[in-house]
Structure 1
Amino acid sequence: MDRLSLLQGIAKISVFVSLLMAFFLYTVKTENKLANRLFAWFFIVSAIDLSGFFVFEYIQEYLNLVIFRWTICLLAMPLFYLYVLAVCYSDFRLKRKHLLHLLPIIVVNLVFLPRLYLADGMNKEFWDSIDQMPEIYFIQILIEFQYVFYIVSAFLVLKQYKEIYLENYANPSSLTYKYLFQMTTVFLVTHCLVALKNVLRYSDYRQIFLWLNVVVGTLALFITCWLVMKALNHPELFRGVNSKLKLAKDILPEIEEKTQFVNVKNDVINSQISGLRQYMTEKEPFLDPSLTIQELANQIDIPVRDLSVLINHEMNQHFFDFVNEYRIQKAMQILKDKSKSELTVLEILYEVGFNSKSSFNTSFKKYTSLTPTAYRNSL
């Protein structure tokens, strides 16, 4: 089998799996329909892009269709970026301003109009020289700038999401962040190979360029299959946060304006910390695996903004770490209790508010430098 046949075979499988994934995302029952539909369109656009390895011979008579298919890839990264926003923020909605993401594909098609869409013929000389046309250089350069912009933007969204999540939620599962961070990183690495491939197209290393096509096609297949497996294994993804939530560092100036006297401020803070710790010890709200800072604020009758500053700034802890500290202390008490020696580590982690063994082990080792099993054996 030659390289072209191998590449076409891989591309056909990738297109099939991508369209299958898009169908799954459109039909699966979930509360976050917008995120699923954005991701479904991402897969559809990816399928159209990957079809270029084998569809040309079927549509080469339709010049405008061939050229328009080249520009479709400019929709992929905007769709991915909007998908990241929709997953991270439960209140995200599409607005008119998001139509600006269509600007690159509109500009490119306008640039292509005079000499490509309105071209008189499509003879062999035309196709042989098309790679050297300024319009083709333009779209390739634009794609690189667009990719860098959206990848950086996606990482910034994830950074903000992680900070808000840690300050406002106690659920130890970080599956959403890890999944999106891994996906964005994989896309970045893969596109670096694509960029290298495009550079080699205009060099003397034509053979390496041809083999890189096969590598990129294979990677696209593996990435698509990986995303399918993620979706099948974790259909409950995702838990978004409210985009209106503020970080403690942004709330702090507003709180400080209300408290002018240092001594009064310190007395109030010390009293609030003491009351909070007493409530956590006596009422054990941390046993609720889905506890949020809003729910805790309601329970102790403190404005959520004040509680956020109290924990994240005055106590110098994320809400996530603050709650997990009590969970680990509770787990240590159970592990020390000889009357509960029959309880397994799995039973204990669920009892103290965790819902993931890996998260429990990580947090336990962070506080004790031992795994739960090693801690129990050391007693």
Structure 2
Amino acid sequence: MIIDNYFELVLMMGAVLSFLLSVYLIFYPGNFFPNRILGVLVFSWSVTVMLFIVQSPQFFNKFPHLYALPDVFVLLFFPLMYLYLRNYLYREIKKPGLQILHYIPAILYLILLTPFFIESGDEKRRMLQEGMPAWFRTVQAIFNIVIIFQGVFYSIFCLRTIHHFQYFRKKHLTDLQMETLKWLRTFVIINIFLWMIGTTGAIFEILGVTIFVDLFKVFYAGLTIFTIMLGVFTIKRPELFSESEDIRKILDLTGINEVKREITSQNNQDYETLSKYISDQKPFLINDLKMQDLVESTGITYKRISEVFNKNYNKTFYEVMNEYRLEEAKKLINEGFHEKHTLNYLAEKAGFNSKTTFNRIFKKYTGLTPSDYIKSIE
């Protein structure tokens, strides 16, 4: 194992810096979860870059247990990138435990290659010298394809998340926050560009095409710079979209009365955004709709949505949703939907999760049962 040029030396120094940065992010003061995700992301790539620099037949002959492990970290990169962005923008994620599903490809890779990983060092050396078995090459080929598709889909998810967040919250974002959204979008675009370079290098390697530059070196160098920049960016302002932080800023600049006016104006804007979303998208038709679903769909925080229902609607979330569902049910009845379908199905189509709730809400607001209401209009 010899580092025989300045490029590899600089790249190794960058990988070491990335590793130190990852440790800092993982153990960052406070309890800001996105920093820990980013820390794991930076750690994954620092290890991958280090192994890329030192990998050689001599290296793996000396450390055979490290062979194929970099692929696991590569499979983690795009999911971690998306989850970092998602958790950074949306502080309250619905069912955070489901985020583990994004790690399934990496977990499957470990499971499928377990027969190789548990082999002795001598057996692994023999495989490396004589050639890897067919099943091993098949698994690696499949997961190389998975990595390519991860790059496509997660890049789209990241850009869509930023666009979605900005679309619903643009009225509430400061100039600094808008500028940061542009930086995040730029980071994603840089990541897409680097992914294209790495994928092109992989395709050229498969086809046996030789060009004047090593695309893998460009890829890993760019990725090292990218992860360091993203880490420093996060350390500089880790909670950019923290509502309490923005309120403290307003307090420092304007005073209590101005803050009250700002909060009232924001509340009215939230109400307009929320009521338009409910009318246009009809989320109440989802039987198990929860307020957290509105948080993720509109980008408005849970606290502010709760205030809208309490202050503007002067009702609870479920009361408002059931009123919308009632109007939808009455509309379906007036259109004759009940003539071809049962009332149970009509209730479900209107968003009610049970016939009991449907009957109770109908009786509460109209004074009639659904059946009596149908008779009255006939």
Write the mapping of 1:88-237 to structure 2, written as runs, cut at 5 A.
Answer: 88-92=89-93, 95-114=96-115, 118=119, 120-123=123-126, 125-126=129-130, 133-167=137-171, 169-173=172-176, 174-208=178-212, 211-231=214-234, 234-235=236-237, 237=239
Are the counterparts in 2 of residues 88 and 240 from structure 1 also a CA contact under 8 Å? no
Deviations 1:180-227 (A, max 9, x none): 11111110000100000101112232354x622222232123323433
How far apart in 2 are the matches of 1:92 and 1:152? 19
SS in 1 for 2:175: coil
Deviations 1:226-252 (A, max 9, x none): 3355346x335521579xxxxxxxxxx
**Counterpart residue type for residue 193 of structure 2:** V
How far apart in 2 are the matches of 1:121 and 1:226? 38
Change (3 A) 1:64 1:237: same
Q: 2:240 matched to 1:238? A: yes
How far apart in 1 are the matches of 2:73 and 2:266? 48
TM-aligned CA deviation for residue 5 of structure 1: 3.5
**Counterpart residue type for residue 54 of structure 1:** I
Equivalent position of 2:305 in the other structure: none
Deviations 1:227-285 (A, max 9, x none): 355346x335521579xxxxxxxxxxxxxxxxxxxxxxxxxxxxxxxxxxxxxxxxx99
Equivalent position of 1:43 in the other structure: 42
Are the counterparts in 1 of residues 116 and 124 from structure 2 also a CA contact under 8 Å? no
Change (3 A) 1:217 1:4: farther
Q: Which has the higher contact order (CA 8 A, sep 6+)?
A: 1
TM-aligned CA deviation for residue 306 of structure 1: 4.3
Write the mapping of 1:253-292 to structure 2, written as runs, cut at 5 A.
Answer: none
TM-aligned CA deviation for residue 27 of structure 1: 4.8
SS in 1 for 2:91: coil
Equivalent position of 1:305 in the other structure: 271
- Identify which of 267, 277, 296 aligns with 2:265: 296
**Counterpart residue type for residue 12 of structure 2:** K
Are the counterparts in 1 of residues 113 and 136 from structure 2 also a CA contact under 8 Å? no
SS in 2 for 1:133: helix
Question: Could you state the TM-score of these two structures normalised by the residue count of structure 2?
Answer: 0.58
SS in 2 for 1:239: coil
Structure 1 runs not aligned, ≥5 long: 243-283, 314-379
Are the counterparts in 2 of residues 176 and 239 from structure 1 also a CA contact under 8 Å? no
How far apart in 2 are the matches of 1:36 and 1:170? 21
Change (3 A) 1:70 1:163: same
Question: Could you state the TM-score of these two structures normalised by the residue count of structure 1?
Answer: 0.58
The alignment yields a C-alpha RMSD, in angstroms, of: 4.0
Deviations 1:132-151 (A, max 9, x none): 92222112111111221211
Structure 2 runs not aligned, ≥5 long: 245-253, 280-378
How far apart in 1 are the matches of 2:200 and 2:269? 53
How far apart in 1 are the matches of 2:95 and 2:6? 40
TM-aligned CA deviation for residue 29 of structure 1: 4.1
**Counterpart residue type for residue 69 of structure 1:** P
Change (3 A) 1:60 1:158: farther
Are the counterparts in 2 of residues 144 and 195 from structure 1 also a CA contact under 8 Å? yes
**Counterpart residue type for residue 207 of structure 2:** S
Q: 2:40 matched to 1:74? A: no
Equivalent position of 1:23 in the other structure: 23
Q: Percent identity?
A: 14
